[in-house]
């Protein structure tokens, strides 16, 4: 099952589901963001069936949005350059943030359930802002950029944000930031081949851990929904899963959180023979009803979306390839993959072809 969402006039960089899982926000090189939704609630579960030939032929000028979905809003009045990242605020239905190559991050909201208005513009990055992410409770916002920095902002309500920390430990571009699902922990992924985990300490934020192992740019990552594991993807064509190494008197079952003098180890790896080019995105789904750890979806420069099943064993984790959709966006790179937070099996993807697609896999 496959839905097309067509309207952006440039490559689509990122997708974000809202808290209810029924609307999808996207951002693009055309300097705009869009919000998509089913025409009626029943249409969310009744996508158009697309033949194999239609899946591959994505450069057709006659392509159009599937009949059961529609673009309900275009947001194009804040940024002067590419909108690189977008994120719905996780506790509200309408608020969202966008980060742009113009160096700014915009906060959007609707006062009366109508169109989004920019209620705040966050400035500070010296050049391109690459990623924006909300903490689970919506109180903190993180941004990162080409200037090698990570900024943490605190929301004081009604569009008022204060910068509470600027983190400069990375030595190259910071590609992405992502928050832990249950704790105030932030992970950042960088062109310097490392991942850093940040933790608040005495009213400031510090680098609690540096995770090394990838041999090239770390493009993205995602926590498992229980926060126990962290997956990362890289230009080195590997997927790695990390967990805290328990110290004496500690327990790895305590989860992925900061304790002094604790390091992280790679407990599972998808080798570089599976993906043939750089992996740009990874998303970790909710566990199924079969007791597994959920699915990992990856978006790759080899034009393929892959889905892996993750299961715990006595010796660690098994990561098994379940399916691979070649030419998921024609001959274009896949820039982002994102599982729906409420409706199991629904996966949104976007690519350099300017199209957004929604796929379904049986849970």
Residue 221 C-beta-side C-alpha neighbours within 13 Å: 31
Residue 109 forms beta bridges with which residues? 117
Query: For the chain, what is the mean pLDDT?
Result: 89
Q: Are 100 and 107 in contact (CB under 8 A)?
A: no
Q: Are 296 and 256 in contact (CB under 8 A)?
A: no
Query: Is a pLDDT exceeding 80 seen at residue 61?
Result: no
Q: Tell me what the mean pLDDT of segment 299-311 comes to.
A: 97
pLDDT in the model for residue 58: 43
Name which of 78, 90, 96, 120 is nearest 35 in CA terms.
Answer: 96
**Range in 60-69, 201-210, 313-322 the model is least confident about:** 60-69
Return the higher-pLDDT residue of 159 and 112: 159
Q: Dump pLDDT digits (tens) for 37-55.
A: 998 766 565 444 443 333 4
Task: Give backbone dihedrals phi and psi of 9, rounded to 5 degrees, phi first.
Answer: -105, 10
Query: Is a pLDDT exceeding 50 seen at residue 317?
Result: yes
pLDDT in the model for residue 310: 97
Q: Dump pLDDT digits (tens) for 272-294.
A: 999 999 999 999 999 987 778 99
């Amino acid at each position: 099952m496959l839905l097309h969402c067509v309207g952006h006039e440039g490559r689509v960089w990122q997708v974000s589901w809202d808290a209810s899982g029924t609307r999808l926000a996207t951002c693009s090189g055309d300097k705009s963001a869009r919000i998509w939704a089913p025409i009626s609630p029943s249409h969310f579960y009744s996508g158009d069936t697309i033949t194999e030939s239609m899946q591959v032929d994505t450069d057709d000028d006659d392509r159009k949005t599937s009949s059961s979905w529609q673009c309900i809003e275009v947001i194009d009045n804040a940024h002067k350059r590419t909108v690189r990242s977008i994120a719905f605020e996780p506790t509200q239905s309408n608020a969202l943030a966008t980060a742009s190559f113009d160096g700014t991050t915009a906060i959007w909201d609707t006062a009366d359930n109508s169109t989004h208005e920019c209620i705040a513009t966050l400035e500070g990055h010296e050049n391109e802002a690459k990623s924006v992410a909300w903490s689970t409770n919506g109180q903190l916002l993180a941004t990162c950029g080409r200037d090698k920095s990570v900024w943490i902002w605190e929301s004081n309500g009604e569009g008022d944000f204060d910068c509470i920390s600027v983190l400069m430990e990375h030595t190259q571009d910071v590609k992405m930031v992502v928050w832990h699902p249950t704790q105030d922990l932030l992970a950042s992924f960088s062109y310097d081949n490392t991942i850093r985990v940040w933790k608040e300490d005495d009213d400031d934020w510090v680098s609690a851990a540096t995770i090394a192992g990838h041999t090239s740019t770390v493009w993205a990552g995602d926590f498992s929904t229980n926060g126990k594991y962290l997956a990362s993807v890289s230009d080195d064509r590997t997927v790695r899963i990390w967990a805290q190494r328990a110290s004496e008197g500690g327990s790895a079952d305590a989860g992925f959180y900061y304790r002094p003098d604790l390091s992280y180890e790679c407990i599972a790896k998808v080798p570089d023979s599976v993906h043939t080019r750089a992996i740009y995105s990874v998303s970790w789904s909710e566990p199924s009803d079969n007791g597994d750890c959920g699915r990992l979806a990856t978006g790759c420069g080899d034009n393929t979306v892959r889905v892996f099943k993750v299961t715990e064993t006595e010796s660690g984790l098994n990561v098994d390839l379940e399916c691979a959709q070649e030419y998921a966006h024609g001959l274009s790179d896949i820039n982002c993959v994102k599982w729906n937070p409420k409706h199991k099996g629904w996966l949104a993807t976007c690519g350099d072809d300017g199209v957004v697609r929604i796929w379904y896999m049986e849970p």
